[in-house]
């Protein structure tokens, strides 16, 4: 699930990094089925395991373990149990660049959209954490980001056209609706 983001942006991201991507059109009701189908396709290519970015939400880890066990691949959770603030600090210090593309409207306003994940962002998250118990890494869906550059990227993703949209679904959230992007040399 791309959290409201146009799936073409995931394709652009994979191209910028230089890796292949397998995508399935799914809904929340068909997500697990689509995930398993994609994993089975990867298994046919020789993939034996999958890496997940869960940090401390046990129900996410339980889902990963159950589903991976069901399709016979090894789940790897390298961030599990680490300090969320340290993870975000390490991400910033490593030279990755990410922008905020989705925020829960009851916690954030639209000004957070398009914001770069940097030290100032982390400081503002600390303040929100103390007032509203916002998870610094957004593990509870408080916000989502798109990584547009970093040490593993061969090219940088450049946003060309976007607008801020308030969506009302399972919960109300602000979305940075990116309609056009390009890949540029670093």
User: Which pLDDT band holds residue 3 (cuts at 50, 70, 90)?
Assistant: low
Annotated domain spans of the chain = 7-47+83-185
pLDDT tens for 139-182 read 999 999 999 999 999 999 999 999 999 998 778 999 999 999 99
Which position has the higher pLDDT, 58 or 23? 58
Q: What is the 3-state secondary structure (H, E, C) of the chain?
A: CCCCCCHHHHHHHHHHHCCCCCCCCCCCCCHHHHHHHHHHHHHHCCCCEEECCCCCCHHHHHHHHHHHHHHCCEEECCCCCCCHHHHHHHHHHCCCEEEEEEEECCCCCHHHCCCECCHHHHHHHHHHHHHHCCCCCCCCCCEEEEEEECCCCCEEEEEEEEEEEEEECCCEEEEEEEEEEEEEEC
- What's the pLDDT score for residue 27? 77
Residues 26, 34 contacting (CB under 8 angstroms): yes
Q: Place domain 7-47+83-185 in its CATH homologous superfamily.
A: putative n-type atp pyrophosphatase, domain 2 (3.90.1490.10)
pLDDT at 111: 96
**Averaged pLDDT of the chain:** 92
């Amino acid at each position: 699930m791309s959290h409201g983001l146009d799936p073409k942006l995931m394709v652009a991201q994979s191209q910028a990094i230089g890796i292949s991507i397998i995508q399935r059109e799914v809904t929340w009701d068909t997500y697990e089925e689509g995930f398993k189908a994609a994993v089975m396709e990867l298994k046919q290519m020789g993939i034996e395991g999958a890496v997940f970015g869960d940090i401390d939400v046990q129900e996410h880890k339980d889902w990963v373990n159950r589903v991976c066990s069901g399709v016979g691949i090894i789940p790897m959770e390298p961030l599990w149990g680490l300090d969320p603030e340290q993870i975000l600090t390490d991400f910033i210090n490593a030279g990755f660049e990410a922008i905020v593309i989705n925020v829960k409207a009851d916690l954030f306003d639209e000004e957070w959209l398009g914001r770069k994940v940097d030290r100032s962002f982390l400081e503002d998250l600390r303040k929100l954490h103390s007032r509203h118990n916002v998870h610094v890494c957004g593990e509870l869906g408080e916000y989502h980001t798109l990584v547009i550059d970093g040490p593993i990227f061969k090219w940088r993703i450049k946003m060309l056209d976007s607008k801020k949209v308030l969506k009302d679904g399972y919960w109300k959230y602000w979305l940075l609706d990116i309609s056009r992007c390009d890949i540029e040399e670093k």
